[in-house]
Amino acid sequence: MNNKVIGFIGTGVMGQGMVRNLLKKGFKVNIHTRTKVKATQLIAEGAKWMFSVKQLSENSDLIITMIGTPRDVEAVYFGSDGLIENSKAGTLLIDMTTSKPSLAKNIYDIANVKGVQSLDAPVSGGDVGAQNGKLTIMVGGDEAAFNEALPVFEAMGENIRLQGPAGAGQHTKVVNQVSIAPAMIGMVEALVYAEKAHLDSELVLKSIGTGAAGSWSLDNYAPRIIKENYDPGFAIKHFIKDMEIAVESAEELGLHAPGLNLALNMYKELEVKGHGEKGIHALMLYYKNA
């Protein structure tokens, strides 16, 4: 697999760490993003810049996308200048964007007609996981394609599982976001309570972090909240997009999710107040009326 050239589209907060880990593992990586300046450091580290999606398609054997919204995914994959139309036969396309399960299935079906393979492989773990190569990767698609991509996934993550056919990876990511959204409310409210009770929040974390209240979010977000560091690992505006996908997907399955809807509305209020670029742990600002 290391002799195959990897194309990577999207070098934002997550993409940068993922590309860097691919380079560290010896992969040749072509990159493209809408804003070239975001790729400058990666180019200096050995990634090769491609001027368009079409050029990247024609010069890569396995292509990963880590972009913004389902609409962005559609723009990159479909059309005369898109990945499916311009990729070589046998190319493996892997969308690691959090997107719609129905779109993942559509990409799979259309790519197959063109002789191109595809996987949907959204991730969890935030900027820390991307930087450290410890992402959780949830995959949907054919087992043969998954096995082909596994060495690439292993360069970026640790908990890597094929969840089922096309769309199953995106459905699993919805499950992840449905779990996180109400849990963020609980974690932030707990910190607010500790503050109002005049407790030492850092000391509180040392007690509750090893018990039933312990979680990845508590370990990684709570210390940032205590320090009032709301820099994004995962921005509120992107979480809102994920939750909207989750609400839509839940409705398609006939599921009413009040906890998810409550969290979505709270985060939308923060976005209206200008906090969309901050990390999702900035939910604390909702309670501070900031």
Residues labelled catalytic: 173
d(CA 52, CA 60): 12
Return the DSSP state at 257.
Answer: -
d(CA 244, CA 143): 29
Q: Which of 272, 250, 194 is nearest to 226 (CA)?
A: 194
Q: Which of 279, 184, 277 is nearest to 234 (CA)?
A: 279
Q: Give residue for tokens 């990729």.
A: 87
Contact yes or no for 167/140 (Cβ under 8 A): yes
Contact yes or no for 283/185 (Cβ under 8 A): yes
Phi, psi of 61 (to 5 degrees): -100, -30
Phi, psi of 222 (to 5 degrees): -60, -45
Return the DSSP state at 279.
Answer: B
131's CB contacts (< 8 A; 6+ apart) are 17, 20
44's CB contacts (< 8 A; 6+ apart) are none
Residue 152, amino acid = V
d(CA 190, CA 122): 29
d(CA 120, CA 95): 5
Report helix, strand and coil shares of the chain as percent, to nearest 5. 55, 15, 30
